[in-house]
Amino acid sequence: MELQIKQVISWMEKTNEKIQSNKEYLTSLDQAIGDGDHGLNMARGFQEVVNKLSSSNYTYVSDVLKDVSMTLLSKVGGASGPLYGTAFLKMSTALKGIETVDYPQFKKAVVEAVNGVKERGKANKGEKTMIDVWEPIVDFLQKQDNLEAKELESTAEKAMEATQDLKATKGRAAYLKERSIGHLDPGSVSSYYIFAALSEVLEE
Ligand code: ADP
Ligand code: MG
Ligand code: MG
C-alpha cells in the first residue's frame, strides 16, 4: 500500500459521505444507549474536515492529518470529538515529514492512534467503545505483511457488529449497565465507516 496526500483527502471525503448518508442511523444508535447526538456530531465534524482540506494546500500527509485532528477537536462536541481528534493527531505525529506512507509506517501510525485513544478515554477493549473496532484493526494489521483492503473492511465490520453483545463500562452507555447489551456502539459504527472508506481508497 501507499498513501499520499491525494489518498488521505479522498479517505476523508469518503468517510464524510458515509457519515452524511448515515447521519440519522448514527443518531438512532446513540438515542438507544446515549444522548442521541452522535450522528449530528460526526456529520458536523467531517463536513468541516472536508471543507478545510479542500481549501488548503499540503506538502505532507502529516499536515493533512493534523488539520483533520484540529478540526475534529474544535468542531465535534461530546466524547467522540476529542477521541477522534487524538487518533488523527497521533497518526499525524507518527507520519511526520513522510511524503508517501508505506504499510509499516501506516501500521505504526494506527498503533499510536489506538494507544492515544485508550489513554485519553481511559478505556480498553471490551468496554463497548470505538476501541472495540480500532484494536481489532491493529491486531489485524500486525498479522499482515501486506494490506488486503477487503479484509480491512470485513475486520472492521465484524468488530463493529460484535459490540452489540458487549456491556458498556465507559461512556454514556455505561449508565445503562446490562441494558446496553443488544445495541451497537455508535462510535464503533462511525469507526467502521472510517475503515470502510480507507479500504475503498486502497482498492482504487
Ligand atoms: P457523547 O457520548 O459525549 O454524546 P458521542 O455521542 O459523539 O459523544 O460519541 C459517543 C461514542 O464515543 C461512543 O459510542 C463510544 O464509541 C465513544 N466513547 C465514549 N466514551 C469513550 C471512551 N472513554 N473511550 C473510547 N471511546 C469512547
Ligand atoms: Mg452522544
Ligand atoms: Mg453528547
Alpha carbon of 129 to ligand 1 centroid (Å): 6
Can you give the pLDDT at residue 84? 98
For residue 3, the surrounding DSSP H or E stretch is strand 2-3
Can you give the pLDDT at residue 102? 95
Q: Enter the C-alpha cell of residue 178.
A: 446490562
Q: What is the pLDDT along the chain (204 residues), one digit of tens a residue?
A: 889 999 999 999 999 999 999 999 999 999 999 999 999 999 999 999 999 999 999 999 999 999 999 999 999 988 999 999 999 999 999 999 998 999 999 999 999 999 999 999 999 999 999 999 999 999 999 998 888 899 999 999 999 999 999 999 999 999 999 999 999 999 999 999 999 999 999 998
Please indicate whether residue 135, judged by its CB atom, sits closer than 6 Å to ligand 1. no
Under 8 Å between Cβ of 101 and 126: no
In the chain, the amino acid numbered 56 is: S
The total of other beta-carbon atoms located within 10 Å of residue 84's CB is 28
User: For the chain, what is the domain count?
Assistant: 1
Q: Whose CA is nearest to atom 14 of ligand 1?
A: 187
Can you give the pLDDT at residue 145? 87
Query: Which among 173, 12, 154 is positioned nearest to 87, based on CA atoms?
Result: 12
Can you give the pLDDT at residue 35? 97
- How many helices (DSSP H) and strands (DSSP E) are in the chain? 9, 2
Domain range enclosing 104: 2-203
Domain containing residue 143: CATH number: 1.25.40.340
Q: Is 176 exposed, middle or buried (0-12, 13-18, 19+ CB in 10 A)?
A: middle
Please indicate whether residue 85, judged by its CB atom, sits closer than 6 Å to ligand 1. no
Q: Which ligand has the shortest distance to the CA of 41?
A: 1
Q: Whose CA is nearest to atom 24 of ligand 1?
A: 121
Bridge partners of 2? Answer: 102
Span between the terminal Cα atoms of the chain, in Å: 11
Can you give the pLDDT at residue 77? 83
- What are the φ and ψ backbone dihedral angles of 32, each rounded to 5 degrees? -70, -40
Can you give the pLDDT at residue 146? 86
CA 20 to chain centre: 15
Radius of gyration of the chain (CA): 16
